Amino acid sequence: MASSLDAYLGSYAGTDPLRLKVAETIRHLAAASVKVRNTIIAGGTGENLGQSREVANSGGDIQKELDVLADKVFLEAAKASPIAFYGSEEQDDAVVLSTDGAIAIAIDPLDGSSNIETNVSIGTIFSLLPVEDGHHADPASVFRQPGSSQLGAGFFIYGPQLMLVMSVGNGTHVFIFSPGFGGFVELRSSVGIADRAHEFAINASNYRHWDETMRIYIDDCLAGAEGPRERDFNMRWIASLVADCYRILIRGGIFLYPGDGRKGYAKGRLRLTYEANPIAFCVEHAGGSATDGVTRILDIVPEDLHVRTPLVFGSKREVARVTRYLTDPSAIGERSPLFGKRSLFRA
């Protein structure tokens, strides 16, 4: 029989005080995800879950009813957990919950809310960070830790099945909610991202706004077996970060959300603290790589809770190739007559 989430967390935590708090927090988050899932299945609690509200969140995005509902549900879960600070996409500032909590949570309560009305998979992304004494004097500082400091991270997917993809630093594991069992059971004990990519995920409608080097990279992928990459690629774009990430964890590939020339998009649109960092943590512990195009995501020190970042993640060799395109475009072999259509970086 597959291991339950509860059993897995118990084995992970042992008698370590901090790990026990991490495990307790994840249990509360899992229970909250079931509440959100049940609301989605029921079609809401009287509201139109996909209806836009007149207010925008801290990042300037128009909130949907489900964004607000999910934030309330996970805030209540955080209050029941050993959490000192709650930092959410839907809150302007960190919420102080406890003066003696050992953990801070950075969370996107409802990722992919633009997909609510079209019944596409959406999710919740979370990052768990340690709380030090100095953070209590300046709550905002707890979210200025690099992603490498995360105690654990993961995301829930509300799709055909309710799933939890999670890492507490010892691999990336997938759990599925079983209504018959009444909880989450392990679906995949250890995910490993394929080293070589055959799929890429990017919003190609923004092609005209990208830097030339990003356009060149995508052009080379689109050229297929006849081009410098000498193999065909599929393109996938769900516009739901959790769904795109889960596909890459299972099938390999690469996800790209670069900055571009539009106003407000110089650093992309994804948030470092509660989107890129937890995704990068899970991807790296599955053998993949995650960067802002050049720099490892988990090494970046956030300026604040809501700072944005470009994001490239997936198969390690493909992410490294993108970095080479961006940092040394003159060395891209397929752009040199000497090499014709063959690339210096051919894998």
| Annotated catalytic residue, options 47, 61, 211, 230 | 61
318 is catalytic: no
Output b/e per residue, 212-231; b: 16+ Cβ within 10 A: ebbebbbebbebeeebbbee
61 is catalytic: yes
Q: At what angle do helices 5-13 and 17-42 cross, to 10 degrees?
A: 160
111 is catalytic: yes
| Annotated catalytic residue, options 65, 111, 199, 284 | 111
Cβ atoms of 183 and 34 within 8 Å: the answer is no
| Annotated catalytic residue, options 5, 66, 69, 90 | 90
| Annotated catalytic residue, options 9, 29, 65, 67 | 67
| Annotated catalytic residue, options 65, 108, 186, 199 | 108
Give the SS3 label for residue 198. Answer: coil
DSSP 210-264: S-HHHHHHHHHHHTGGGSTT-S--EE---S-HHHHHHHHHHH--EEEE---SSTT
Tokens of 216: 């060149």
* Largest separation between any pair of C-alpha atoms in the chain: 65
| Annotated catalytic residue, options 9, 69, 75, 89 | 89
Measure the CA–CA gap between 312 and 280, rounded to whole angstroms.
Answer: 9
89 is catalytic: yes
Nearest alpha carbon to residue 209 among 265, 269, 255: 265
Locus of tokens 């050049």: 294
275 is catalytic: yes
108 is catalytic: yes
Question: Which residues on adjacent β-strands are paired with residue 126?
Answer: 107, 154
Residue 107, Cα to own-chain centre: how many angstroms? 10
16 is catalytic: no
Measure the CA–CA gap between 269 and 152, rounded to whole angstroms.
Answer: 23
133 is catalytic: no
| Annotated catalytic residue, options 5, 49, 75, 110 | 110
DSSP β-ladder status, 270-271 and 308-309? antiparallel
Rama region for 298: left / alpha / beta (φ>0; ψ in -120 to 50; rest): alpha
- Which residues are marked as active site? 61, 67, 89-90, 108, 110-111, 275
